[in-house]
Structure 1
Amino acid sequence: MAITNEADIIQLVRKDSWMMDLLQTAQSLQLPDWWICAGFVRSKLWDVIHGYNERTPLPDIDLIYFDPTLIDEAVEKELENRLKLTHPHIPWSIKNEARMHSVNNLPPYISSVDAISKFPETATTLGLKLDEHNQIILAAPCGIYDVIHLELKPTAFFSATSERMAIYEKRLISKNWQAKWPLIR
């Protein structure tokens, strides 16, 4: 299937029972401003574009939310433990973006999508969630062009300083995505 727009991405996810199950599981937590993001979305797209029949294993499933009223990291760990009861083989990584700016030594984020926009690569700035009618919502604050054209570029946030660009470049080396998806540029 060719992926040319956001509707194509939503259709791919809707047809993927594993992804839909994880989205419904995340939705069941009723977290404010929640999204499953980053590799969960990007890897699916790159697998499809590469014609892979098997899902590329993910090191984790990033579930983020934004709750400035309760920023204790212990809450995130308790949420991860709750999800591990229903999906013990899923490597959940839950983060409250209302506190992550302090971990990353950055100005406060204003929402989860604001935090997503500040991820290192444009191809990773993607999030999915379900609305109250179980319709899929896609957040793509840097657009989808780079991810569907297999282009790795730093976000504007990361290209703004040499320190962040160094982090971006180290990340490209450590992730070694071209070994899994050789068509990436």
Structure 2
Amino acid sequence: MKPAIASTDAVWMLIDVQTRLCDVMPPEAMANVIKNIQRLIQGAQLLNIPLWVTEQYPEKLGDTLPELQTLLPDYTPRIPKLAFSAWHESAFQESSVSVAPQVVLFGLETHICVLQTAQDALAAGKQVFVVEDAVISRTEANRNNAIARMRSAGCIITNTESMLFEPMQGATHAQFKAVSALIR
């Protein structure tokens, strides 16, 4: 069995954090999720971990939130999609990043796009991490149900700080101080 420790040999996926979707989420919870996603985006860059962004039907649901877009490097792949699971998008499957043994998921909605992407990544043999404090659904019951389903299916349910610190494996990592500053 693979160890349940996140590494830099991963791809991180920001799933569907779009303007019109975010508008219908519980405001206080959404604010906390955005804050954690901002930390994850910055951490991925500091740790040189590939980050992919998906947008569900952007013509209807809008673009990725501006406060997240400003943190994304220009080279960040942004994938529009109609399927709920991001896993089946050809751009992702045709990328060399798709061979990464670990997939880290955060975004929305937990019980639809995050869940289906997690299930498909597991079926493809990936070790899947779901960042619990960086996913959201319109209702807490749907979010909790999805987290339970993903845990039961074999996903590793984790949190923002763990995802930022595990790949470094210690305070001697070159980016330790910069990553530590993200959580202050």
TM-score normalised to structure 1 length: 0.29
Which protein is richer in strand relative to its size? 2
Q: Which has the larger radius of gyration?
A: 1
TM-score normalised to structure 2 length: 0.29
| Higher RCO by CA contacts (8 Å cutoff, separation 6 or greater) | 2
